[in-house]
Amino acid sequence: MGFSSALQSRAAHEALIVRQDAELRLMETMKRSIQMKAKCDKEYAISLTAVAQQGLKIDRADEMQGSLISKSWRSYMDELDHQAKQFKFNAEQLEVVCDKFTHLSQDKRKARKAYQEEHAKIAARLNHLTDEVVRKKSEYQKHLEGYKALRTRFEENYIKAPSRSGRKLDDVRDKYQKACRKLHLTHNEYVLSITEAIEVEKDFRNVLLPGLLEHQQSVQESFILLWRNILQEAAQYGDLTADKYKEIQKRIDTVIGNINPTEEYGEFTEKYNYVSRTSPTTPLLFQFDETLIQDIPGKLQSSTLTVDNLTVDWLRNRLQELEGAVRDCQEKQLKMIEHVNGGSPVANGSIISNGSNTSNGIQSNKDSLCRQSKDLNALRCQEKQKQKLVDMIKCALNEVGCEELPSGCDDDLTLEQNFIENGYNNEQQISLSTNRPLYEEEWFHGVLPREEVVRLLNNDGDFLVRETIRNEESQIVLSVCWNGHKHFIVQTTGEGNFRFEGPPFASIQELIMHQYHSELPVTVKSGAILRRPVCRERWELSNDDVVLLERIGRGNFGDVYKAKLKSTKLDVAVKTCRMTLPDEQKRKFLQEGRILKQYDHPNIVKLIGICVQKQPIMIVMELVLGGSLLTYLRKNSNGLTTRQQMGMCRDAAAGMRYLESKNCIHRDLAARNCLVDLEHSVKISDFGMSREEEEYIVSDGMKQIPVKWTAPEALNFGKYTSLCDVWSYGILMWEIFSKGDTPYSGMTNSRARERIDTGYRMPTPKSTPEEMYRLMLQCWAADAESRPHFDEIYNVVDALILRLDNSH
C-alpha cells in the first residue's frame, strides 16, 4: 500500500506534514545526543592518554632492564595509548556524522517545503476553476435576467406597433438582439468552464495527486535510507571490542539493521487508509444548471455549445487558442522525452543530469525517474484537458456543417415572422413522407460515425448521406469532400419538404439527385459540388439481414449475441453497441471492426461485416463455437494434455506473429480475449484496445488497463510496442498451463505491480515443460528489448511440439 492510494484525503495530507515535522524533531534529538557522545568520547580519550602516560613513568626503569614484567607493562600502556587515539578518532568521526545530520535536516526541510508548494499548486488550479464555474454561472444569471426583460419588452412593443415598424420598435429590437448575443456567449463560456473543471478535477484525483504522493513517498524513503546509513555510521564509531560491549553492539546492529525504508510508513498509511475521515478525496460534481434555460425557447441546450452567427467567430478564436495550447504541451513533452533519452537535464531542473546528485545526494535514480514521470503526467493531463475542449468545439462547428450557421437568435428573431404567419399559434408541421425508404439507397450509410465517413471521402466531389443524432433528434446529413470535408444538415421546411439553399423537394432522394445532376453547389459559400456518390462498402451489412437468436455474453459496449445471416443462413457472433452511448464510444466500438476487416489469418477471429444503417450499431464476426479460452481451460482442466496446451500457445503465437507483421499492437492479450473452436484451435479476439502503429503512447489515462497482464514500461510510462504484447503473451502461456488460474493470485493490482518492479516473477505452473517456463521468463524480461519477438516465439514453440511428437 503506497502514498498514492492511501493518502489522498486532506486529513492524510495534513498528517503527512505533521509526520515530517516529527521526523525533523527526532533528527535534532539524535544529532544532540551524538554530539554529547562525541564530547564524552573525547574526554575519555584524554583521560585514557593520561593513564597511559602515568603508567609509563616508571621509577628506576634502568633497574628493570630485561624484565619480562616491565616489558609487558609497557606494551599494556602502549595499547592503552593506542586505544585513546582510537577513541579520539571515533569522536572526530561522530562530529562528521553530526554535520551529516545537519545537512540531512536542511534537505528534509526543503523537500517538505517543495511538497507543500506542489500540493498547493495542483489544488489551487482546481479551486480556481471551481470559483470560475461559480462566477460564470453568476454571469449567466445576470445576462439571462436582462435577456428575459428585453424579450418581454420586444414582444409588447411589437404587438402594439401598428405597422410592425418604427424607430422605437427598431431600438427595442436592437437592444434585444444585443442581449441575446451576450447570453449565448456567456452560455458557451459556462459550458467550457464546466468541461475544463471536470477534466482538471478528474486528473487531480487520478493522475496529479497520486503522482505527487508517489513521488513524495520515494523522497521520504530516500531520506529514511540515508538516515539509516548515518545511524549505522554513528554506531560503527561507538563499537567496542570487549565481550560485554560486543553483545551491546550486536543488539544495536540488529535494531538498526531492522530499519527498512519500504516498510517505514506501512503502519502510518494503513492507519489513514481505514479511518473513515481520511477516505480518498470525494469527486467534485460539475453539472450544468438546467434551471438557467428552462424559460428560453431556442437552441440553448444544457452542456452543449451553441454555434450560430453570434458565437461562431468567438468559438473559432477560442479553438485556435486551445489548439496552440495543445501544440505547446506536445512540444514540451517531446523535449522532455528527448532529454530523458539523451541523458540530458530538462530545462526546469526536474531531471538530474548524468547521475549527479544535489542536496548532499538525497535524490536517488529512483527519485529522478519518479519526478520525470510526474512532470510528464502533468503535461499529458494539460494536453488532454485542452484537447477535450478542442474536440468539443470542433464537434459543435462540424455538426452544423462549418459552412451553414443558423441565426444566433433563430427561434427568437423569427418570432416576428411567426406573429405574422401564425398569430401566436404554432401550427403542426407536415409529416415527412417519401416514396421509398432512404436506407435502400446505396449512398446512404445509416448511422456510420463521422470518423468513418471521413475515411471514405477521398476526392473532391465524393459524397454520401448519413444519419446523426443531435439533442436526441435524428438529422440527415450530406457529407462531401470539397477542400476538406464538409457536412450539411438537410433542412426541413414548414411544409415537410427538404432543401439546402435551393428549391425544396418532397424527398431527400430527390434533393440529392437534384444537387448531383444540376452540378450546382450545395451552398454558395462552400462551393461544394456533388460528383461521385460513395456507396456502402461490402462489409457494411443491412441491419435487417441479421437475426439475433440468443445472448451469449456481454462486452464493454453492449451485449454479444449468437445470430444468423438471412442471406447465407450462416451462424455468426454479433457484438452490439448500446444506443445511449455517446458518439466517442461508438467510434471506439467500430474501431475493432475497422482493424479486423483488413486481417485474414486462421488464428485471428474473422470480421464478416458491420451494421450501421440504423440503431443499434453491430459488428458481425465468425462464430467460434468453443467460446472463451479462459472458460474452456477451466471447464476442461482435467482432460487437457500438455500437447494440447502447447498447441494453444503455438496458435496464439501464430496469430500474434501475424499482427506484429501488420504493426498492430493488441494491448489486451489474455485468455479471456481468445476464443477456441471445436478442434481446440485458438483465435485472437477482442481488438477494442488495439492500435495500428509501431509505438503507441497512452494519453487518456490508465483506468481500464489490465494491470496483471501489462508490461512494466506500459504501466509506468504509457508506452506500448509489440514487445508489450510479448509480456502479455507470457501471462497467457501461464494461464494456459495453469488451466485458467488467475495470475498473481491473492495480490492486488498495486501489490503485483510493486513485486514485479522488484524482480518477482510467477513460479511455473504444475506439469509445465521446463522449456515453456523458460520461454515465459524470457517474455517477462524487464528490458523490453531483451524479449523475443513473436516470430522467434512461434519457432521455439513449434520446434518443441515437433520434438514432443517425434518422442511419441
CA distance 542 to 597: 17
Burial 495-526 (b: 16+ CB within 10 A, else e): eebbebeeebbebbbebbebbbeeeebbbeeb
In sequence order, what are the residues at sequence separation of 6 or more whose Cβ sits closer than 8 angstroms to the Cβ of residue 116?
17
CA distance 373 to 211: 8
Burial 628-665 (b: 16+ CB within 10 A, else e): bbbbbbeeeeeebeeeebbbbbbbbbbbbbbbbeeebb
Which among 401, 239, 389 is positioned nearest to 308, based on CA atoms? 401
> Which residues are registered as beta bridge partners of 609?
620
- Tell me, what amino acid is at 624? V
Residue 285 is classified by DSSP as P
Residue 201 is classified by DSSP as H
Indicate the SS3 state at residue 465. Answer: strand
Give yes or no for a contact between 558 and 578, defined as CB atoms under 8 angstroms apart: yes
Q: Match 621509577 to its residue by C-alpha cell.
A: 59
478 sits in which H/E element? strand 473-481
Q: Match 448511422 to its residue by C-alpha cell.
A: 447
CA distance 138 to 485: 39
Q: Match 401566436 to its residue by C-alpha cell.
A: 424
> Which residues are registered as beta bridge partners of 485?
481
Tallying the residues shown for the chain, one arrives at 808
Look up residue 476 and give its three cell numbers. 440527415
Is the bond into 765 cis (omega within 30 degrees of 0)?
no
Q: Which residues are annotated as a binding site for ATP?
A: 552-560, 575
- Tell me, what amino acid is at 103? H
Q: What count of other Cβ atoms lies within 10 Å of the Cβ of residue 552?
A: 15
Catalytic residue among 668, 725, 741, 757: 668
Burial 699-736 (b: 16+ CB within 10 A, else e): eebeeebbbbbbbbbbbebbbbbbbbbbbbbbbbbbbb
In sequence order, what are the residues at sequence separation of 6 or more whose Cβ sits closer than 8 angstroms to the Cβ of residue 570?
564, 608
Which among 659, 653, 675, 661 is positioned nearest to 798, based on CA atoms? 653
- HSE, side-chain direction, 13 A CA sphere, residue 119: 21
- Tell me, what amino acid is at 517? H
Is the bond into 616 cis (omega within 30 degrees of 0)?
yes
Look up residue 703 and give its three cell numbers. 483506468
CA distance 186 to 180: 10
In sequence order, what are the residues at sequence separation of 6 or more whose Cβ sits closer than 8 angstroms to the Cβ of residue 107?
223, 359, 360, 362
Give yes or no for a contact between 590 and 643, defined as CB atoms under 8 angstroms apart: no
CA distance 780 to 316: 49
State whether the Cα torsion 522-526-531-535 is positive or negative.
negative
- HSE, side-chain direction, 13 A CA sphere, residue 683: 25
Residue 805 annotated among the catalytic residues of the structure: no
Quick one: 95 exposed, middle or buried, by C-beta within 10 A (0-12, 13-18, 19+)?
A: middle
Give yes or no for a contact between 690 and 757, defined as CB atoms under 8 angstroms apart: no
Which residues are known to be catalytic?
668
